[in-house]
Amino acid sequence: MNRRTFVGACSAILASCRKPSRIRLALNWKPDPQFGGFYAAPYSKHGLDVEILPGGAGTPTVQMIGAGSAEYGVISGDELVVARSRGNDVVALFAVFQNCPQGIMAHASRHLASIGDVVKEGTLAIQRGLPYARILEKKYGFDHVKVVPSPGGDISAFLRDEEFAQQCFVMSEPLQARHAGVDVTVFPVSDLGYNPYTTVLATSGAQLKGDPDHAKAVVAAVREGWRTYLNDPGSTNTRMHELNPSMDAATFAEVAEAQKPFIEQEDLGVMTADRWTTLIGQLAELGDIPQVFAAQDCFRNL
Amino acid sequence: MRLERVRRVFDNHLVVIEGMDLSVDAGEFLAVLGPSGCGKSTLLRMIAGLSAPDGGSIVTNPSQVQTAFVFQDAHLLPWRNTLDNTALPLELMGIGRDQRYHQARAVLAQVGLAEAETRYPTQLSGGMRMRVSLARALVTEPRLLLMDEPFAALDEITRFHLEVQLRELWQRRGMTVIFVTHSISEAAFLANRAVVLARRGGKIRLDRCIDLPPQRTNDLRSDERLGHEMKLLMGAMEEE
Amino acid sequence: MKRFLPPLIPFVAITLALEFAVRSGLVAGYLVPAPSAVFRALLDSRDELAAAMAKTSAAALIGFALSTLAGITIAVLLSSSRAIQRAFYPYAVFFQTVPVIAIAPLLVIWFGYGMKTVIAAAFIVSIFPVIANTLTGLLSTDPALRDLFRLYGASPGVTLVKLRFPAALPQILTGLRVASGLAVIGAIVGEFIGGSGLGSVVDVARTQQRVDKVFAAVLLASVLGLGLFGLINVVSAVTLRHWHASEQQ
C-alpha cells in the first residue's frame, strides 16, 4: 500500500464518522468510459453524498463550478487555465487522462502520414475555438481545407465522405468508425506538442478552502473508483449504459479497455507543476490568456 | 316572383319555414314584419339565392333577375375607400375602371355622398356607411333589392332620413324592394304592402296593402293614418 | 426622437446597473460581461463581427422570405377546404416542434456545410407562425362579405384575392412579426451546425470562454432581429393605415 492509498483509507475512516451533505459533480459529456471511475467511486464509504450530473454538448461545467451550481465538476486542463485567467477560481484535484486523448481521425484510405496532412485538402470538422485547433492552424494554415463545425460525436458525415476528417476522442469515434466498416488513421493532438491534462476533476477555490477535508475525501473516493474501474469496468459500464443507451455495451467495454494507457500510472490522477507550466506557456503564446501565472495556483494533489 | 310551399329546415330538425306561399309583383315595396327568430332573414336569403329551400320552389319571372342585398351592418371592405366600395359589384362583374367609377359616382351623388368619395369606412359615420352600402347595392341597377333590417343599428333621426331617401330612390328606379324589419313604424312608413310572419314556422298572419299616399315625407310620421296602419300591423304581430 | 426615448431609458438604466454590478464584484465578470467589455469586444473584433453579421443577415432574410412565401401559400391551400385542412395541418405543426439541432445531421446531408443549411434552419424555425396566423386570418373572413361576393358571382379565386387575403392582412403581419425573430434564431442555430456567421462567432467564443465576444455577437443578432421587426412594422403602417385599429392610434 503506498502513501496515497494509506491517506485515502484514513480519510475514509474519518469521513465515515461525518454526516454526508449532498454535493453535485457535473460531467461535461454523457456518461461514458471516460467517467468510469467517477461512477465506480465508493462515496458513502468516505462519508460523502454525491449526485453525479451527466452532461452533453456544451455543458458549461467550468462556469457551473464558478457560479456554485455544482461543487465539483469535470473540465479540461486548458479550460481551467483560461478560466483562472478570467477570474474564475477553479482548482484541479485529479487528472483522469494523464495524456490528452483528443485527436483527429481521417479515412485510412487517404494514407495520410502526419497530423499536418489533414489540412492539405478535403474537409476538417473541428471546434475552432479549441487551443489545439488554433495551434494546428498556426502551424499548417487552413488555406487548403474546408473547416466546418464539429458534429459532436456523430460520425455520419465522416462515414459518407472520404475526404472528411474530424476531431475525436482517440478511443471513441475511431472505434465506432471501424465498427461501421471504415478503417481510420488517428493523429493524437499531442503530435502538435500539445498535451494538457484532460477529464480533470476540479472544484472552486472557495470550496477547497472552506472544507479541505471534504475535498480530500472526494479525491480519495475518486481515486479508489478509478482503480476499481481500471481493474474491472463491467458493472460500472452496465450502470452507465443504462444512463446513456446511445453507446452499446460492447463499445463501452472496448473503449474502457482502449483508454487504459492514457490513464494508468502508479498514483492515479496526480499532477505535476511542469505540465501545468508548459500548458500555461502555450496558451499565453496563443493569446488565449493575457499573461502567464504560477502553475501552483492551478492544482492541488490531495 | 312566386314562392310555392317553400320549406326550410335547419340542422335536420328545426323547421324555420313551413309551407309558405307568397307572390310578389314587380315594382312592389314589400315589408316583411315579424318578431326575432321568425324566419324573415332566412326567407330573404333564400330569395337571394344564398341558401336553397328544403322543399317547395321559388320562381322568378324572368328567371334571372339582377338582385342586390343590403345587410344590417354596412359590411364595407375597410381597406377600400367609398368609391371603390361602391364600385365593387361592377368590379366583380368585370366592368372596366372608368365605366364603373362613372356609375359609382352617379349613385353616390344620389345618396348624397359625392364628397366622401376618397374617405375610408373608419372615417365615416354609421349612417354614412349605410348609405355607401345602399349605393353599392344600387350601382348595378338591380331589379330586385333585398334589405335585411338595414337601418336597425342607426339612430332614429338618421333612420328617418334614410327611410325617406330609400322611398325616393325606389320611386325613381321602379325596382322591387323586399324589406325585412321588426319595426312596425318602419314597415308602415316604407312599404306599400306588408306581410306579418308568425313567431314560429314562417306562417303569414297578415298580408295587407298599406293605405297611405305614395309621397311620404317625415311629416307623415305624426299623421294618424300612419298610426292606424301601425295598429293593424301590431295586432297581427301580437296574435298568438 | 420622442418615439425612441421610451425604449432607450430602460436600456441605459440596465446597462449602467450591469456595469456597476460587474465592476463592484457583485456579478462575476466571467459569467456576465460588463457592458464596457462587450463594447470593447465589438470594437476589437469589428471586422470579424461585421462580416459575420452580413452572413447571418443574408441567411435570415432569405430564410424569412422563403418562409413568408411558402407559409402563405400553404395557408391558402389549407384554407381551401375543411378536408385538406384536417388532413395536412397537423403536419405543419411538425415545423413548430422539431428541434432543429436534432435534425442537424439530416440538414448537413441534404444541404452540406454552408449557407444553404443556415437558410434551411432559418426557414424551418420560422415558417409555422406564418402558416398558423395566415390560416386563421383567411378563415375569419366576415361571412356576410363572403355572401356578398357570392351574390355577385365572384369565383373562389377572385374572392381570395379581393376579399379574404386583404381581410387577413393584419393577422398575416402578426405572423410575420413572430417569424422574423425566429428566422434570426434559426439562422444562428443553423450556423452552429453549418459554420460561418454570428452563430459561428458565438460557438468559437464560447469555447474560448470569451463571454464578452459572445454577448457582442448576441447583441448584433438582436439588432438584426429588431431590424426585421421594424421592416414589418413599416409594411404594416403603410398597408393598414387607413383601416385597421392597430395602425390608427
Q: How far C176 CA lies from chain B's nearest CA (Å)?
A: 20
Q: Which of B93, B110, B140 is the last residue of a domain?
A: B140
- The answer to whether the beta carbons of residues C13 and C188 sit under 8 Å apart is no
User: Partners for A (CB, 8 Å, 3+ pairs)?
Assistant: C
Res C160 pLDDT > 90: yes
Question: For residues B123 and A281, what is the distance between their CA atoms, to the nearest angstrom?
Answer: 75
Res C3 pLDDT > 90: no
Question: For residues C154 and C162, what is the distance between their CA atoms, to the nearest angstrom?
Answer: 10
Yes or no, beta carbons of C105 and A157 under 8 Å apart: yes
Q: Which of B73, B91, B122 sits opposite C248 (nearest CB)?
A: B122
Band of the pLDDT at C94, cuts 50, 70, 90?
Answer: confident
Q: What are the backbone dihedrals phi and psi of residue A156, each rounded to the nearest 5 degrees, phi first? A: -65, -40
Q: Which residue of C has its CA nearest to B51?
A: C147
For the residues of chain C, what is the DSSP string, one character each?
-TTTHHHHHHHHHHHHHHHHHHHTTSS-TTTS--HHHHHHHHHHTHHHHHHHHHHHHHHHHHHHHHHHHHHHHHHHHHHT-HHHHHHHHHHHHHHHH--TTTTHHHHHHHH-SSHHHHHHHHHHHHHHHHHHHHHHHHHT--HHHHHHHHHTT--HHHHIIIIIHHHHHHHHHHHHHHHHHHHHHHHHHHHHHH--HHHHHHHHHHHTT-HHHHHHHHHHHHHHHHHHHHHHHHHHHHHHTTT-GGG--
Chain B residues in contact with C154 (beta carbon < 8 A): 92
Asked whether residue B172 is domain-assigned, the answer is: yes
What is the residue range of B54's domain? 2-65+143-238
Ranges of residues in chain B with a pLDDT under 50 are none
Asked whether residue B71 is domain-assigned, the answer is: no
Q: How far B43 CA lies from chain C's nearest CA (Å)?
A: 15
Cβ neighbourhood burial of B230 (10 Å; 0-12, 13-18, 19+)? middle
Counting one residue from chain A and one from chain C, the pairs whose CB atoms sit within 8 A come to 60
Q: Does C145 touch chain B (CB under 8 A)?
A: yes
What homologous superfamily is domain C55-247 in, according to CATH?
A: MetI-like (1.10.3720.10)
Question: For residues A186 and A100, what is the distance between their CA atoms, to the nearest angstrom?
Answer: 13
Q: Does C106 touch chain A (CB under 8 A)?
A: no
Give yes or no: residues B154 and B232 share one domain. Answer: yes
Structure confidence at residue A1 (pLDDT):
55
Q: Which residue of B has its CA nearest to C150?
A: B50
Q: Which of C31, C193, C209 sits opposite A149 (nearest CB)?
A: C193
Question: For residues A192 and A118, what is the distance between their CA atoms, to the nearest angstrom?
Answer: 13
All CATH 3.40.190.10 domain ranges in chain A, comma separated: 3-99+196-297, 102-192
Touching, B vs A (3+ Cβ pairs under 8 A): no
Give yes or no: residues B154 and B125 share one domain. Answer: no
Long-range contacts of range A284-292, CB-CB < 8 Å, 24 or more positions apart?
A: A286/A131, A286/A134, A286/A135, A286/A138, A288/A78, A288/A81, A288/A82, A288/A85, A288/A131, A288/C208, A289/A81, A289/A82, A289/A85, A290/A85, A291/A85
Residues 6 or more apart whose CB falls under 8 angstroms from that of C51 comprise none
For residues C229-246, average pLDDT? 89
Asked whether residue B90 is domain-assigned, the answer is: yes
For residues C119-134, average pLDDT? 94
CATH for B217: 3.40.50.300
Question: If DSSP codes are grouped into helix, strand and coil, which group holds residue A23?
Answer: strand
β partners of residue B146 = B69, B178
Yes or no, beta carbons of C108 and A157 under 8 Å apart: yes
CA C245 to chain centroid, in Å, comes to 24
Q: How far C159 CA lies from chain B's nearest CA (Å)?
A: 9
Give yes or no: residues B136 and B163 share one domain. Answer: no
Write out the H or E segment, with its range, that includes residue A215.
Answer: helix A212-231
Yes or no, beta carbons of C108 and A151 under 8 Å apart: yes
Residues 18..47 of C with a Cβ closer than 8 Å to A: which?
28-31
Give yes or no: residues B155 and B232 share one domain. Answer: yes
For residues C147-151, average pLDDT? 90
pLDDT in tens, B65-108: 788 999 988 999 999 999 999 999 999 988 899 999 999 999 99
Asked whether residue B25 is domain-assigned, the answer is: yes
Question: For residues A46 and A11, what is the distance between their CA atoms, to the nearest angstrom?
Answer: 7
Question: For residues B103 and C20, what is the distance between their CA atoms, to the nearest angstrom?
Answer: 71
Cβ neighbourhood burial of B118 (10 Å; 0-12, 13-18, 19+)? exposed
Asked whether residue B6 is domain-assigned, the answer is: yes
Q: Strand pairing of B176-181 and B29-33? A: parallel
Counting one residue from chain B and one from chain C, the pairs whose CB atoms sit within 8 A come to 52
Res C100 pLDDT > 80: yes
Q: What are the backbone dihedrals phi and psi of residue B216, each rounded to the nearest 5 degrees, phi first? A: -125, 120
Structure confidence at residue B12 (pLDDT):
62
User: Partners for C (CB, 8 Å, 3+ pairs)?
Assistant: A, B
Q: Name which of C49, C48, C10, C14 is nearest C34 in CA terms.
A: C14
| pLDDT, averaged in runs of 10, over chain A (302 residues) | 68 60 90 93 91 90 92 94 92 94 94 92 93 93 92 88 93 90 94 93 92 92 94 92 88 91 90 94 92 91 89
- The answer to whether the beta carbons of residues A137 and A194 sit under 8 Å apart is no
Write out the H or E segment, with its range, that includes residue A97.
Answer: strand A90-97
Residues 6 or more apart whose CB falls under 8 angstroms from that of B128 comprise B113, B116
Q: Does C93 touch chain A (CB under 8 A)?
A: no
Q: pTM of the predicted model, to two decimals?
A: 0.84
Give yes or no: residues B200 and B101 share one domain. Answer: no
From the CB of residue C62, how many other CB atoms can be counted at a distance below 10 Å? 18
Domain count, chain B: 2
Yes or no, beta carbons of B121 and C163 under 8 Å apart: no
Structure confidence at residue B227 (pLDDT):
85
C-alpha cell at B156: 332614429
| CATH architecture, domain defined by A102-192 | 3-Layer(aba) Sandwich (3.40)
Chain C residues in contact with B129 (beta carbon < 8 A): none
Give yes or no: residues B149 and B134 share one domain. Answer: no
Chain B residues in contact with C163 (beta carbon < 8 A): 77
Q: How far C161 CA lies from chain B's nearest CA (Å)?
A: 11
Q: Which of B67, B77, B81 sits opposite C151 (nearest CB)?
A: B67
Residues 87..146 of A with a Cβ closer than 8 Å to C: which?
87-88, 123, 127-130, 146
Does residue A181 come out as left (phi exceeding 0), alpha (psi in the -120 to 50 range) or beta?
left
Chain C residues in contact with B140 (beta carbon < 8 A): 152
Q: Which of B71, B93, B120 sits opposite C152 (nearest CB)?
A: B93
Give CA angle at C172 (C168, C178), nearest 5°: 155
What homologous superfamily is domain A3-99+196-297 in, according to CATH?
A: Periplasmic binding protein-like II (3.40.190.10)
